[in-house]
Structure 1
Amino acid sequence: MHESCGHCGQNNLMTQLRTNYWIVLGNAIVKTVIRECLVCRRLSRHPVVQVMAELPSDQLCPDEPPFTNTGSDCFGPFLVKQGRSTVKRWGAIFTCLTSRAVHLEVIDTMEQDSFVNAIRRFVARRGPIKRMWSGNGTNIVTMERELREALQCFNEGEIRDILSIRGAEWNFHPPHASHFSGTTDETLCTLFCEVEAVVNSQPLTKINDNLNCPAPLTPNMILTFKGSPDPFTSTCKKGMYVKR
């Protein structure tokens, strides 16, 4: 279950298990499974512990709808098949600064128009926003030179104007201020949606061994007023090749 949920954390794993099973001393067993998982041990290592500044006011608006204040960033590229050719695709991530929910979009090219279209799709599906925070080009966390150079070519003024028409404000993070973010083509789109669902299933509250403990709150509950979807990812390589 831990692997099928994308190597999720303790609260998330306990939440998924509770939908079908009641395990005696489940938290202790879950901690052991995660502690002995080599993938999690490798991914959870941090070279340094950064001292966080105070949270911006945009992250402390509990009465606003999800994605009213949003952070955005780009990542990639990914190589995908298109007919007989191999083309590059990028990703755009939008995160709600209050609920920590995420929304993922596939970007065909790292041109400004493609990024603006991703914003338009995001607003169409998630509703209007008031403020958008974005990495400032060279400050984006990536080792991809191509991505950094493409982001530097974006006309910040034009993007601001497009969003201002919709009543939204565009802001760029100051340099080195990491606390401001906190945080085939069809197959790639599907993967992004599945990753989005896994991240949005992460519990925001603790779960304990009390039988009467309510289900923990997740970003998916805030977005859909429903629970998180069942695990759907697979670590088996069978069926991952060619057109399958």
Structure 2
Amino acid sequence: MLKLDPFVDEHGVVRVGGRLKHSDLTLGEKHPILIPGSHHFAKLIVLHYHKQIRHQGRHLTEGSIRSAGFWIIGLKRLVNTVISECVLCRRFRGNLMTQKMSDLPEERLKSCPPFTYVGVDCLGPWDIVTRRTRGGSVNSKRWAVLFSCMSSRAVHIEVIEEMSTSSFINALRRFVSLRGKVKEFFSDRGTNFVGAANELGIPAICVEDKTLKTFLNEKGTVWKFNTPIFVTYGRLVGTTHRHCSPHY
């Protein structure tokens, strides 16, 4: 208390001293009332102003008490104690519940060469600089096909000029020639891979096209789709999937 230079005012109240006597601030801001932190009245003050600021935390609670004209010894420790015992604060600041993840799928756990089991997805489009030719301007957009190994998590990316089955087959040929034979492909049931996109007039890669089926048959590869209305991350945590291969 001696460091706070306390004094007793004309009403017999102990206040904090200082060098702000001639300022235009209010009496409570210049010389706040000094209250021992171990007193029950100090805890009641902290509770009152903590509720008044709608449980917004320690710093705002301390500022509200100081602005009201009170100087509580050991205020920081007392505010921390009050907030830790506050039911609403514990509810607001509680840890979020996490979902228990399911078992990993077999493709993630098998000992196999890289890119034996591969997840596929498409990215884009990105606009590029248009180049003029005699027949007009070439396609000014590019897409990318992302191949991800299910066991090693390695990533291979191929750039394609258009969202069509022929461009996708070329990307598959380049991928297989570099990474080797793929046993199973996995993808979602987005419009990039199912035939419904063709009916809507959307540029897409149709896995059910005859040319792509023939290519997969020649390579002895199976294409599997995730369950409809299902995020791609589901394949990483393991779940049942709908089998959709060119051999059905």
Superposition TM-score, scaled by structure 1 size: 0.46
Bigger Rg, structure 1 or 2: 2
